[in-house]
């Protein structure tokens, strides 16, 4: 099966071509949906097969490269379209095709009746194609192809309803913003690649990474490479300072938010850093930077999530925050914990988004949670699965989120220090709070919608079954990563599986801090207690005593507005960078520098000659006598000159 891995790239592409070229003629939603979904379903089966084949191999042979053809070969550059199947890429591939398949199925129900149904499935398949390239690539350049490809699909899908309004502008604006902000990150990634190529003479992982492990270059260069790559990661994975596109990306259809902007694409940055862990581990500074950016993003995004009223916005900021956790994990050297959280997060966050989609679907496209309330009885399946996901993300044992989040918190304490742990735990507290605020406002309490116009209903089975599968995964998904402190001698299975990938990076990192099991248990208990009390508090406030929330908001009005407006970061970016640049280009570069100065000089030269010629032209009087006179004078002068020089 490993040798067939290229099919998992090819099949989604074929699906894209069929639906993209002929979808508008096929028209039948069932056929279009079946083509789109089966392309991903079959890919998942192949990936699963490859996984088991990998499992059967000895640990040191679990990296297989399947080469298709030479892509770019010139000078010292030699890059192939080649796919690398190993412990890390197979985990990512399982998530992408597995969750991707469920979301495809769900979309058949969600997008039912949409005029662009075929287009939607075409784009979705194209996305999987690009994403598979990203995670299976055996070199930086092919990874970059996937990297930009997923950005394109994100662009197309955010702007899917291109004629709709979105907040103050349009979906098309949101789409463009996502693409451009991502490109800023890609710019960093490109520079990283250039530097890697200059230092290591190759872009293939199989050459660069071992060379980096062996030392290869100075710490300064490692820092620069890691910095550039990390700029790329902050763009794709929505970290400070480039996270601003992700909340706006919610303009896209909800399955897109689930698939691209929660479960898969936004974790690409985490994957990339994990893949190049040995480079990051070679730079102490950059490890610190990654950890700090991660924890800050986690914290600040969570604070914004506390006050948002759009169901998808809450989830969007939650995603930004959870991605921050993943980077925190990477930054403190807990690479496999980061990937573990990528996986569990894919389950519960996809579930949350799909659940939100189900609610939006049942509430006639209403997204304001203030206009929900008491939906539990109308949407029992959606409710129970959403609740499971909320418990999972809040970090209540034994749900999946508990294991992954706790592992991150533990390592941030052990390797990062108390402050990291504290901020991480506070973030966990806020996470539990805003999630259950969301649950309460949506499913509990009074019904705040207009019964005349809105008739809440449960979604069809094609949508709820994927919810249930994901709910199951959200419950049990964490068991493969049970920490040592519970599993004893078996150790952490997930950790063990990824160990060879991160061995070189880990060996580069200085010895880890204390590893006392007692401390680990105490911290675990504290964070669970924090989360549980936040849940209790949120349910109490938002189902029974909403006035408390209102009072708090009015008492801390300044703070509340600051959070509600997301710290005005968008406004600041616009005022300090976007607008000045546009103004400068328009008013100065074009209208003055180009038209007046450069072209003015050109036209000035031309008119100088015209004017001079105009004067000289006067000599051409057309009067024969004048010409004859001048001729005579000329001849006389010439004669005089000849005679005198004799």
Partner 1 sequence: MNSESILTLLILVPLVGALMVLFIPKGKDSVVRTAGLLISLAAFVVSLFVLDLFDYGKIGFKEFQMVHTFPWISDFNIFYKVGIDGLSLILVLLTTFLTPLTLLATWGNIKVKVKEFTFFMLMLEVGMLGVFLSLDLFLFYIFWEAMLIPMYFIIGIWGGEQRIYASVKFFIYTMAGSLLMLVAIIWLAVEGSNVIGTFTTDLIALYAVGPQVGLDIQKYLFLAFALSFAIKVPLFPLHTWLPDAHVQAPTAGSVILAGVLLKMGTYGLIRFCLPLFPQSAVYFAPMFAVLSVIGILYGAFVAMVQKDMKKLVAYSSVAHLGFVVLGIFAFTQEAMQGAIIQMINHGLSTGALFLLVGFIYDRMHTREIADYGGIAKIVPVYSTMLLITSLSSIGLPGLNGFIGEFLILIGTFKSPVLNNWWYTVFAASGVIFAAVYLLWMYQRVVFGEVKNPHVKELTDMTGREIAIMIPILIFVVWIGVYPSTFLTMTEGF
Q: Which of 219, 571, 574, 599 binds partner 1 (CB under 8 A)?
A: 599
Residue number, 616 or 631, with CB nearest to partner 1:
616
Contacting range for partner 1; rule: CB under 8 A; set: 192-200, 241-249, 253-261, 294-302: 192-200
Shortest reach from residue 152's CB to partner 1, in Å: 6
Contact between 589 and partner 1 (CB under 8 A)?
Answer: yes
Residue number, 203 or 469, with CB nearest to partner 1:
203
Contacting range for partner 1; rule: CB under 8 A; set: 248-256, 302-310, 331-339, 592-600: 592-600
Contact between 197 and partner 1 (CB under 8 A)?
Answer: yes
Shortest reach from residue 115's CB to partner 1, in Å: 8
Long-range contact set of residues 414-423: C-beta below 8 Å, sequence gap at least 24: 414/332, 414/512, 414/513, 414/514, 414/515, 415/332, 415/333, 415/334, 415/512, 415/513, 416/291, 416/328, 416/331, 416/332, 420/291, 420/295, 420/328, 420/332, 421/523, 423/295, 423/298, 423/299
Contact between 70 and partner 1 (CB under 8 A)?
Answer: yes
Tokens of residue 49, six digits: 């097969």
Shortest reach from residue 130's CB to partner 1, in Å: 9
Contact between 195 and partner 1 (CB under 8 A)?
Answer: yes
Q: What residues have CB less than 8 Å from 576, skipping those under 6 apart? A: none
Shortest reach from residue 275's CB to partner 1, in Å: 18
Spell out the alpha helix ranges (H) of 444-477.
461-476
Q: From residue 393 to residue 432, what is the string marking binding to partner 1 with x (rule CB under 8 A)?
A: ----------------------------------------
Spell out the alpha helix ranges (H) of 259-379.
268-275, 277-281, 284-305, 311-331, 335-362
- Residue of 430, 170, 477, 451 whose CA lies nearest to 302: 430
Residue number, 194 or 479, with CB nearest to partner 1:
194
* CA angle, 304 then 310 then 316, to 5°: 55
Q: What residues have CB less than 8 Å from 419, skipping those under 6 apart? A: none
Contacting range for partner 1; rule: CB under 8 A; set: 474-482, 488-496, 593-601, 616-624: 593-601
Q: CB atoms < 10 A from the CB of 73, how many?
A: 10
Q: What whole-number distance in Å separates Cα of residue 96 and Cα of residue 267?
A: 10
Q: What whole-number distance in Å separates Cα of residue 466 and Cα of residue 351?
A: 8
Q: Which of 3, 55, 76, 540 binds partner 1 (CB under 8 A)?
A: 76
Contact between 74 and partner 1 (CB under 8 A)?
Answer: yes
Number of H helices, E strands in the chain: 28, 4
Burial of residue 388 (number of CB atoms within 10 Å: 0-12, 13-18, 19+): buried
Contact between 220 and partner 1 (CB under 8 A)?
Answer: no
Contact between 112 and partner 1 (CB under 8 A)?
Answer: no
Q: Which of 55, 57, 59, 198 binds partner 1 (CB under 8 A)?
A: 198
Contact between 503 and partner 1 (CB under 8 A)?
Answer: no
Q: Is 9 helix (H, G, I), strand (E, B) or coil?
A: helix
Contact between 176 and partner 1 (CB under 8 A)?
Answer: yes
φ/ψ of 262, rounded to 5, equals -145, -55
Q: What's 204's DSSP letter? A: B
Residue number, 21 or 548, with CB nearest to partner 1:
21
Long-range contact set of residues 494-497: C-beta below 8 Å, sequence gap at least 24: 494/336, 494/339, 494/340, 495/336, 495/337, 495/340, 497/87, 497/91
Whether the Cβ atoms of residue 443 and residue 383 lie closer than 8 Å to each other:
yes
Q: First vs last Cα of the chain: how many Å apart?
A: 103
Residue number, 62 or 177, with CB nearest to partner 1:
177
Contact between 602 and partner 1 (CB under 8 A)?
Answer: yes
Contact between 581 and partner 1 (CB under 8 A)?
Answer: yes
Contacting range for partner 1; rule: CB under 8 A; set: 500-508, 534-542, 588-596, 622-630: 588-596
Sign of CA dihedral 313, 317, 318, 319: positive
Contact between 187 and partner 1 (CB under 8 A)?
Answer: yes
Q: Which of 14, 17, 48, 145 binds partner 1 (CB under 8 A)?
A: 145
Q: Which of 24, 38, 368, 546 binds partner 1 (CB under 8 A)?
A: 24
Contact between 316 and partner 1 (CB under 8 A)?
Answer: no
Shortest reach from residue 148's CB to partner 1, in Å: 5
Contact between 594 and partner 1 (CB under 8 A)?
Answer: yes
Half-sphere exposure (Cβ direction) of 144: Cα atoms closer than 13 Å:
21
Contacting range for partner 1; rule: CB under 8 A; set: 36-44, 174-182, 429-437, 540-548: 174-182
Residues within the interface to partner 1 (CB under 8 A)? 24, 69-77, 141, 144-145, 147-149, 152, 155, 159, 162-163, 170-173, 175-176, 179-180, 183-184, 186-187, 190-191, 193-195, 197-198, 581-582, 584-586, 589-590, 593-594, 598-599, 602, 606
């Amino acid at each position: 099966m490993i040798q067939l891995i290229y099919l998992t790239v090819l099949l989604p592409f074929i699906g894209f071509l069929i639906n993209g070229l002929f979808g508008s003629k096929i028209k039948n939603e069932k056929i279009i949906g079946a083509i789109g979904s089966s392309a991903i379903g079959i890919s998942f089966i192949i990936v699963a097969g490859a996984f088991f084949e990998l499992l059967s191999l000895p640990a040191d042979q679990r990296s297989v490269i399947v080469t298709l053809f030479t892509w770019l070969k010139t000078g010292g550059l030699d890059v192939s379209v080649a796919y690398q199947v190993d412990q890390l890429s197979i985990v990512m591939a399982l998530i992408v095709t597995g969750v991707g398949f469920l979301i495809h199925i769900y979309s058949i129900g969600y997008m039912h009746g949409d005029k662009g149904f075929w287009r939607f499935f075409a784009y979705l398949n194209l996305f999987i194609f690009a994403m598979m390239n990203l995670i299976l690539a055996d070199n930086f350049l092919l990874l970059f192809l996937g990297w930009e490809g997923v950005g394109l699909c994100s662009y197309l899908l955010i702007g899917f309803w291109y004629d709709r309004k979105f907040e103050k502008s349009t979906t098309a604006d949101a789409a463009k913003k996502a693409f451009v902000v991502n490109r800023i990150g890609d710019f960093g990634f490109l520079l990283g690649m250039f530097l890697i190529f200059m230092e290591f003479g190759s872009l293939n992982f199989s050459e660069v990474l071992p060379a980096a492990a062996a030392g290869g270059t100075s710490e300064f260069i490692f820092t620069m490479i890691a910095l550039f790559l990390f700029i790329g990661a902050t763009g794709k994975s929505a970290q400070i300072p480039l996270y601003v596109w992700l909340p706006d990306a919610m303009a896209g259809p909800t399955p897109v938010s689930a698939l691209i902007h929660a479960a898969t694409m936004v974790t690409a940055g985490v994957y990339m850093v994990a893949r190049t862990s040995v480079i990051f581990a070679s730079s102490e500074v950059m490890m610190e930077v990654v950890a700090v950016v991660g924890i800050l993003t986690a914290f600040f995004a969570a604070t914004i999530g506390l006050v948002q009223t759009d169901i998808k916005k809450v989830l969007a900021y939650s995603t930004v925050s959870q991605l921050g956790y993943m980077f925190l994990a990477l930054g403190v050297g807990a690479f496999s914990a980061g990937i573990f959280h990528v996986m569990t997060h894919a389950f519960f966050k996809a579930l949350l988004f799909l659940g939100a989609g189900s609610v939006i679907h049942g509430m006639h496209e209403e997204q304001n949670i203030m206009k929900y309330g008491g939906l539990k009885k109308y949407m029992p399946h959606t409710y129970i699965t959403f609740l499971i996901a909320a418990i999972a993300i809040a970090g209540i044992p034994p749900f999946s989120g508990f294991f992954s989040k706790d592992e991150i918190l533990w390592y941030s304490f052990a390797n990062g220090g108390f402050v990291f742990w504290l901020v991480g735990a506070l973030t966990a507290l806020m996470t539990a709070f805003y999630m259950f605020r969301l649950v309460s406002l949506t499913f509990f309490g009074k019904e705040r919608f207009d019964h005349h116009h809105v008739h809440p209903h449960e979604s069809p089975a094609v949508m709820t079954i994927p919810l249930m599968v994901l709910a199951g995964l959200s419950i049990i998904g964490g068991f493969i990563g049970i920490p040592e402190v519970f599993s004893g001698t078996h150790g952490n299975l997930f950790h063990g599986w990824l160990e060879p990938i991160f061995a070189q990076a880990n060996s580069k990192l200085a010895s880890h801090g204390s590893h006392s099991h007692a401390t680990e248990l105490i911290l675990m208990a504290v964070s669970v207690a924090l989360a549980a009390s936040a849940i209790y508090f949120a349910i109490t406030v938002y189902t029974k005593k909403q006035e408390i929330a209102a009072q708090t908001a009015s008492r801390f009005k300044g703070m509340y507005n600051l959070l509600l407006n997301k710290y005005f970061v968008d406004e600041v970016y616009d005022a300090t960078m976007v607008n000045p640049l546009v103004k400068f280009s328009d008013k100065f570069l074009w209208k003055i520098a180009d038209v007046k100065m450069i072209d003015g000089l050109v036209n000035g030269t031309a008119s100088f000659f015209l004017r001079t010629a105009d004067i000289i032209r006067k000599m051409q009087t057309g009067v024969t006598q004048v010409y004859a006179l001048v001729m005579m004078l000329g001849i006389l002068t010439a004669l005089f000159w000849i005679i005198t020089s004799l």
